[in-house]
Structures are given as C-alpha cells and as structure tokens.
Copies of this chain bind each other. A is one copy, B any other.
C-alpha cells in the first residue's frame, strides 16, 4: 500500500535490514515517525557515519574505524594464538564465550570459486606472512563446518606448511545441551569422527 512518497521510501529502505520484510518495515517506519523521531535521526547519523568511516583493521581485517581494531591494539591479547574466522560476527560470538585470549584473522567470506571468491579476496595471500611476522605458534581454523568452510580450512592448512605455526581446527560435534535424538546426522557423524579417548 502507498502511504506517501517519503514514507514509502523509508519502508523500502528499511528492507535493507536482514529479516525485515514489507510488514515489519511498515510498522517500523510508522512507529519511528509517530513515537521516536529523535531515535530515527540518531540512527540516520550512526548509519551514515559508520558507512563512511568503518573499514578493515590493518592487521586482522575485522571491521573498525581505526587503523587497528581494539583486539589487535590490546597488548594483553596473546599474539601466539591466531584464530581464523569467516566474519566479524564470529569474533563477537567467540568473545562473548569469553575463553579465548588470542588474536583473530577475518576472511570476510569463504572460498567459493563459483562466486569468484578466491584466496586473494579472503586475504589468504597475506596470511602466511602475517603468521610469520606475528610469531604465532598456533593457528586455529574456525571457519564454518560447511563444504566451503571446510575447503577454506583445508586451503589455509596447506598454505601455512612453510610457517612454524601448528594449525588446528575447532571441534565440531554435539552442542552442549543438545540431545543426540534431535541432532542432525551430519553433526553426529562429525561427533563420532572427532571422538577422543576418555582419560
């Protein structure tokens, strides 16, 4: 339904947000205009400032507006352990888990020749030099357990053979609190394959 050109444009633009369709966009637009114009203006400014200034950390490639992100700039983060992830949101998930104190390297994707995404696009051509210069002793591959994520992990493992770092892969298996009965077959196969002796 058409409301007015400006409101229609706002509804259309709100659908750039992931998971927002026409209905949510309409409700959101009317809510902001009726009850929270200051919020709308603050969001507009935050969006345009971030879109203009956020770029990639010069060390780990995550998103930041500074030359180096907070983690790379933090001298207390252990440079000896480097965790390779597909995207900045993976860093958020790992940081929230709170048990990792090393550094990261963000691919911004995974190898996908069909989409024209090769090693260059993922920063993989710089990774061996990065591992050498950072003195990392261990590189943890935390790409997702999809076909492309596994292929990417495999590629990275190969490309790091010349370095001194041990290359490891995060464990994939039954999630905590997950019941075998409800876990998919692929996960169970992974969990069986990755079994460890009980000490």
Contacts and interface: CB of A to CB of B under 8 A. Distances in A.
Interface of A is mostly: helix
Contact of A108 (B34, B41, B64, B89): B34
A58 interface: no
B47 A4 contact: no
A133 interface: no
A50 B10 contact: yes
Nearest to A5: B65
Which of A4, A42, A95 gathers most chain B CB within 10 Å? A4
Contacts of A41: 47-48, 51
Contacts of A24: 19
B33 A16 contact: no
Contacts of A160: none
B1 A34 contact: no
B34 A13 contact: no
Given A1-B95, A3-B64, A46 B89 contact: no
A88 B30 contact: yes
Contacts of A43: 13-14, 16-17, 44, 47
Interface string A49-80: 11101100000000111100110000000000
Interface in A84-133: 87-89, 92, 95-96, 108
